[in-house]
Structure 1
Amino acid sequence: MSRFPSFSRSIGVTLLCCLCVSVSFADDWNQWMGPTRDGVYREAGIADSIPEGGLPIRWRVPVFGGYAGPAVVGDRVYLMDYERTKGEMIETPDARPEQEGFERVRCFDANTGNQVWEHKYAVNYKISYPAGPRATPTVIDGVVVTLGAQGDLIALNASNGEMMWQVNLPKTFNAKTPIWGFAAHPLVTDSMVVTMVGGDDQAAVAFDRATGKVLWKSVSSSDAGYCPPSLIQAGGTQQLLIWHPDAVASLDPATGKPYWTEPLKPDYGMSIAQPMREGDHLFVTGIENKSMMLQLASDRPAVTKLWDSEPKTSISCSTMTPVIHDGLIFGCDESLGAVVCAKVSDGQRLWHNWLPVRPDNQRRLSAGNAFITRHAPSGRYLLFGETGLLTLAEMTAEGFRSLGQMQVVEPTQTAFGRKVIWSHPAYARQTAFIRNDKELVAVDLSSSK
């Protein structure tokens, strides 16, 4: 049990460093949605607009398929892809085509794009939308933790790719693979790895980071879902938040003991978006108006429901996690298919805009998507849309103002009868790192052109 106090200290120090570090220093993007998983980019010195001809490209390198975004630490970029050797690519929601191939964890030089090392292992796919891995690598203290689409949870040495340990979730826990594969980006601390598994008393499972030994298993769920676990400090208590296909729950991160549970069942088991917090408000969102705002208690780990979404209110997200700032929620509503701004207080929609999603569209677009990142030093937003366009914009309660767009990659996947790309970028070293199923691209964001 001696490891758990250090776990708490590590998270506290991490949060303190994120608050105190000067934005003039380079900011690693060591995991999905950034260092604190809040979708905020804190590095200064980026361009205040995107010119008509686009921003400079630092480099492009070929990769294979995958939805997993890149992670960046120092001068290294980490990415997963899938090298298919047999099987037909069928991209429909209910099909599970059989594929043979190799998942790869790859490390690149951030300056040149040259590959530094690769860890490759055979894995056969039987999931819907089988382009490749879903979960972004998490890199902490020289350890890379990855989760493959068929449930291979792996810890590697970040400097050379040597394997520390590997656990296959379906085999180890007799867990079923979700139809769209394992996708919940693992949460990594100084001592633990927490991921979603699914099943009786094992919705979430914690592993020793050094050995892969199971530390605890907690609560029951119909399957793993797709939402990553996250940490918050509320009610004088550190809480581990999970959202599985049946409910949102708060756990003691040291033991897995439940603090509170709030039922929320999204259609098709699509618990995807991470619950997002501002102050004492916690927003949880899923498709088909399955969204709610909770209020975190100040004196204990508990919540009160403030409101539920209704048609044409709030934001029902599908494949992206919204960003919350200054009492406003910015996200892509899956029925509109547009970027929507809504109020934290009551879910009232203030405006919507299709430009960052699909500029030529002005009508409802099923599951239209853009990944949103707030640039803290400028207050502007970077949006990466499903057609491969990167947009810089100002977004306030008054509306949306574009500061330029550029085509970075071509959409290489197919969904709802159109070409899309569903991969969250990384922002670090005054660079946007963006991938599709063919290439990884480094875009120069610096203001000194």
Structure 2
Amino acid sequence: MLSRSFLLSALVVGIVGTVRADDWPQWRGPNRDGKSAEKGINVKWPEDGPKLLWSLQNPDAIGTGYGSPAVVGNHLFILGANGPKQDAGEFCTCLNVKDGSKVWQTPLNTTPGKFLDGWGAGPRATPTVIGDDVYVLGATGNLVCLTKADGKVVWQKNLVTDFGGAIPLWGYSESVLVDGDHVICTPGKKTGMIALDKKTGKTVWECKEFGDGAGYSSIIPTDIGGVRQYVQQTMSSGVGVRAKDGKLLWKVGEINRSVAVIPTPVVKDGHVFFTSGYRAGCELYRLEVDGEGTKATKVYSKNPVMANHHGGVIEFGGKIYGHSDSKQWLCLDYLNDSEDPVWNSSKLDKGSISFADGYFFCYGENKGVLAVIKATDKGWEEVARFSIPKLSPTRPNQGKVWAHPVIANGKLYLRDYEMLYCYDVSQPGA
């Protein structure tokens, strides 16, 4: 018999269209922190991995790109392009998660723009699915709102032509934030950050108090003493922008951000942790109320132990986990300024990380190997490992397996450029 709580949850979903607790509706999951809310994951797999439910290997299916999917209920949303070059047309695809069949596919009317495509062109971002709409950002700055049901274009802007932004060297990679009634993202250059009305695309505010180049990171919302703000990492600094009016509250940064600044900030318990690769390292700031705003006080900076290139880091149990260019995979006591990791391991090549049900899913960039380890500060405790059946034949050799793992509704999704694999990680009989 179905429980009363389940029936009530189903009724609420049916009426207001909210996402389920175990959905993955945006970049890095429900809270943009790399964590799935799902419980009861099965990690007892045979040597060749969990059951493969379906795969898409035709470039026409989801297209080329490095973005992860978003999953809401019975549908998956993903960005792609019709080739590996910068002039490839971009599109958003909606799939049925049951069998991978196409529900709709909408071109983004990609605005021409230049960025380096030696690593492979195509969109880099993850769609953001809120209510009845899907919000996507293409590599040349096309910000588009689509209807979730059929993919019709509601409104469209371009970060360069409409807001004076500048395409980052390897293309826009940010996954936009939808917070309340607004869509927030980072054009860069002439306009540091913008907020648009999510229903119409009309400008609510523009923050022009900083003109940093847009990096490849995505915004995290937080509240400090009742002050709602948006934390972002640009190509040269970390910033906090007030949500109600776009005022720059603070700007910090002593680590040597250069080349490509990619990891999304970690905001937890009034602290913000930044890390970047290319020997930049990491830094930690304490956020405190300052009148009607917020101030950021340095706890430490220029710590070399965690220099995360692009796979992201996750806070769990007061520690930071992820891959560091200097120390391999590691666990860091990030609230203390120590250059010694709690543990580090070279048992998997560099890659991305996601969390579900007490485990980290670590996805190696070279061969598409997924290793599952316990989320513990006791060491690298591996419980499962397998490789995706086939690597992308389309992706240029300079490119890697860069899309992050997604765990939603009993399924694990792994992408490699134009390839997408869906695995069953639910408990038997679930």
Cα gap change, 1:349/1:309 in structure 2, threshold over 3 Å: closer, same or farther? farther
TM-score, length of structure 2 as denominator length: 0.86
Structure 1 position 82, deviation (Å) = 0.8
Q: Which residue of 2 aligns with 1:127?
A: 115
Q: Are the counterparts in 2 of residues 411 and 420 from structure 1 also a CA contact under 8 Å?
A: no
Cα gap change, 1:310/1:382 in structure 2, threshold over 3 Å: closer, same or farther? same
Q: Which residue of 1 aligns with 2:7?
A: none
Q: Are the counterparts in 1 of residues 108 and 142 from structure 2 also a CA contact under 8 Å?
A: no
TM-score, length of structure 1 as denominator length: 0.83
What one-letter code is carried by the residue in structure 2 that aligns with 1:205?
Answer: I
What one-letter code is carried by the residue in structure 2 that aligns with 1:126?
Answer: K
Matched residue of 1:81: which SS? strand
Structure 1 position 264, deviation (Å) = 4.3
Q: Which residue of 2 aligns with 1:198?
A: 188
Q: Are the counterparts in 2 of residues 225 and 269 from structure 1 also a CA contact under 8 Å?
A: no
Matching residue within 283, 299, 318 for 1:306: 299
Q: Are the counterparts in 2 of residues 316 and 334 from structure 1 also a CA contact under 8 Å?
A: yes
Matched residue of 2:160: which SS? helix
Describe the superposition over 1:217-271 as per-residue Cα deviations: whole angstroms up to 9, x where unpaired. Answer: 1132232111111101223322211221222111111210122221346443533
Distance (Å, rounded) in 1 between the aligned partners of 2:181 and 2:289: 28
Q: Are the counterparts in 2 of residues 221 and 246 from structure 1 also a CA contact under 8 Å?
A: no
Matched residue of 2:230: which SS? strand
Distance (Å, rounded) in 1 between the aligned partners of 2:26 and 2:80: 16
What one-letter code is carried by the residue in structure 1 that aligns with 2:196?
Answer: F
Cα gap change, 1:265/1:182 in structure 2, threshold over 3 Å: closer, same or farther? farther
Q: Which residue of 2 aligns with 1:28?
A: 23
Q: Which residue of 2 aligns with 1:390?
A: 370
Q: Which residue of 2 aligns with 1:381?
A: 360
Question: Any gaps of 5 or more consecutive residues in structure 1?
Answer: 1-16, 18-24, 90-97, 358-367
Q: Which residue of 2 aligns with 1:362?
A: none
Q: Are the counterparts in 2 of residues 59 and 441 from structure 1 also a CA contact under 8 Å?
A: yes
Q: Are the counterparts in 2 of residues 46 and 445 from structure 1 also a CA contact under 8 Å?
A: yes
Matching residue within 29, 42, 47 for 1:47: 42
Matching residue within 96, 103, 111 for 2:90: 103
Q: Which residue of 2 aligns with 1:433?
A: 413
Matching residue within 269, 283, 286 for 1:295: 286
Aligned positions of 1:264-413 closer than 5 A: 264=254, 266-287=256-277, 288-297=279-288, 301-311=294-304, 313=305, 315-336=306-327, 338-344=328-334, 345-347=336-338, 348-357=340-349, 368-369=350-351, 371-375=352-356, 378-386=357-365, 387-408=367-388, 410-412=390-392
Q: Are the counterparts in 1 of residues 184 and 194 from structure 2 also a CA contact under 8 Å?
A: yes
Q: Are the counterparts in 1 of residues 283 and 303 from structure 2 also a CA contact under 8 Å?
A: no
Structure 1 position 283, deviation (Å) = 0.8
Of all paired residues, the percent bearing the same amino acid is: 28
Describe the superposition over 1:5-24 as per-residue Cα deviations: whole angstroms up to 9, x where unpaired. Answer: xxxxxxxxxxxx9xxxxxxx
Structure 1 position 125, deviation (Å) = 5.5
What one-letter code is carried by the residue in structure 2 that aligns with 1:120?
Answer: P
More off after superposition, 35-44 vs 115-124: 115-124
Distance (Å, rounded) in 1 between the aligned partners of 2:53 and 2:35: 23
Distance (Å, rounded) in 2 between the aligned partners of 1:355 and 1:402: 9
Distance (Å, rounded) in 1 between the aligned partners of 2:88 and 2:395: 20
Cα gap change, 1:298/1:169 in structure 2, threshold over 3 Å: closer, same or farther? closer
What one-letter code is carried by the residue in structure 1 that aligns with 2:152?
Answer: E
Distance (Å, rounded) in 2 between the aligned partners of 1:159 and 1:426: 22
Describe the superposition over 1:189-212 as per-residue Cα deviations: whole angstroms up to 9, x where unpaired. Answer: 231111110123x11111111111
Structure 1 position 356, deviation (Å) = 3.3
Matched residue of 1:448: which SS? coil
What one-letter code is carried by the residue in structure 1 that aligns with 2:235?
Answer: P
1:73 aligns with 2:62: no
Describe the superposition over 1:81-109 as per-residue Cα deviations: whole angstroms up to 9, x where unpaired. Answer: 1102xxxx5xxxxxxxx643310100000
Distance (Å, rounded) in 1 between the aligned partners of 2:95 and 2:239: 37
Aligned positions of 1:148-187 closer than 5 A: 148-187=138-177
Q: Are the counterparts in 1 of residues 220 and 267 from structure 2 also a CA contact under 8 Å?
A: no
Q: Which residue of 1 aligns with 2:9?
A: none
Q: Are the counterparts in 2 of residues 235 and 296 from structure 1 also a CA contact under 8 Å?
A: no
Distance (Å, rounded) in 2 between the aligned partners of 1:159 and 1:267: 41
Question: Any gaps of 5 or more consecutive residues in structure 2?
Answer: 1-11, 13-19
Describe the superposition over 1:381-440 as per-residue Cα deviations: whole angstroms up to 9, x where unpaired. Answer: 22222121222111422211110111125443878x776200012211110112112321
Distance (Å, rounded) in 1 between the aligned partners of 2:131 and 2:198: 11
Q: Are the counterparts in 2 of residues 276 and 284 from structure 1 also a CA contact under 8 Å?
A: yes
Describe the superposition over 1:46-70 as per-residue Cα deviations: whole angstroms up to 9, x where unpaired. Answer: 1133331310011112332100110
1:252 aligns with 2:242: yes
Distance (Å, rounded) in 2 between the aligned partners of 1:37 and 1:282: 14
What one-letter code is carried by the residue in structure 2 that aligns with 1:440?
Answer: L
What one-letter code is carried by the residue in structure 1 that aligns with 2:337?
Answer: D
Q: Which residue of 1 aligns with 2:216?
A: 226
Distance (Å, rounded) in 2 between the aligned partners of 1:190 and 1:319: 28
Give the aligned CA root-mean-square deviation in angstroms. Answer: 2.2
Distance (Å, rounded) in 2 between the aligned partners of 1:409 and 1:276: 33
Distance (Å, rounded) in 2 between the aligned partners of 1:385 and 1:143: 32
